[in-house]
Amino acid sequence: MVTRYEEDFKKSIVEMVKAGRRPDELSKEYGPSADSIRNWVKKYAPVEVNGESISADELKKLRKENAILKEELEILKRAAVLLTKH
């Protein structure tokens, strides 16, 4: 069975890694694998974008949202063209 961890738990583990604790010792103490902890560190690592720092996870969500908005815009443009022809 796969264990799902809450975002707050993951972030607290990541903070402990940032504070100097090793993923393998946190794994023994809290349960998730050391590889999972390393993945969480990557996921929540800050990324510099236009002078702002956001997590890689937030960047991924923003890119997905941007793609959806671009698709919606194209649909609206096509609809506008169709409406002006009638």
Span 36-66, pLDDT tens digits: 999 999 888 887 878 888 888 888 889 999 9
Three-state SS for the chain is CCCCCCHHHHHHHHHHHHCCCCHHHHHHHHCCCHHHHHHHHHHHCEEEECCEEEEHHHHHHHHHHHHHHHHHHHHHHHHHHHHHHC
Confidence label for 86 from pLDDT (cuts 50, 70 and 90): low
> Model pTM?
0.63
